[in-house]
Amino acid sequence: MIRRCAGGDRAALRRLYEGWSARLHGIALRITRQPALAADATHDAFVQVWQQAARFDPARGSGEAWLVSLARYRALDIVRRRGREVLTEEPPEQADPAPDALARLAQSAEGAALQRCLDRLDPERRSVILLAFVQGLSHTDLATRLDAPLGTVKSWIRRGLAALRACLEP
């Protein structure tokens, strides 16, 4: 998709945005702690994707890692420009959206079913799924955090998603 953006394919950029904007916004929000600044960082990251997609080198890392790093660096740039006042503030009570997100999800019928299926997963798979899809960690970040090979982390995620899919199917 990034290569297609490099060729000027606006539809590819749109699909990339639709698939990644929420996750990149979450990453930026954890850094900036302000939704408006996180939105700015996310926007800046996608502008940079459009302008510099031709510079992406898959030999140096995955597209996912590149996108995450763009969002992270744009958020850090915004914080630096603001004189670091954002980082020195006390984090808001709900700085970690994961518990709140899971609580809201559990309130719906689909969410309750998903929670039951998550509870059936072995602890490793459950933890990896939550860290990846609720906390927004990349596969590389997960591998580092869990001190596990990247391929193993990807396998855990794939197997965990397959187990969830099987559990949720009627």
The string of pLDDT tens digits covering residues 84-143 is 444 444 444 444 444 455 555 556 677 778 888 888 888 878 888 888 877 777 888 888
Percent of the chain at pLDDT > 90 equals 5
Contacts 24+ apart (CB under 8 A), 12-18: 13/46, 13/49, 13/50, 16/46, 16/49, 16/67, 17/46
CA–CA separation, 128 vs 143, rounded Å?
10
d(CA 122, CA 131): 14
Q: Which of 137, 100, 111 is nearest to 119 (CA)?
A: 111
Per-residue pLDDT at 122: 85
Residue 53 contacts residue 6 (beta carbons within 8 Å): yes
Does residue 152 carry a pLDDT above 50? yes
Domain-by-domain residue ranges, the chain?
Answer: 2-88, 97-168
pLDDT the model gives residue 104: 55
- Among the CATH numbers 3.30.70.20, 3.40.50.300, 1.10.3720.10, 1.10.1740.10, which is that of 2-88? 1.10.1740.10
3-state secondary structure 79-128: HHHCCCHHHHCCCCCCCCHHHHHHHHHHCCHHHHHHHHHHHHCCHHHHHH
pTM: 0.48
The domain 97-168 is placed in CATH, from the list 1.10.10.10, 3.30.540.10, 2.40.30.10, 3.40.462.10, at 1.10.10.10
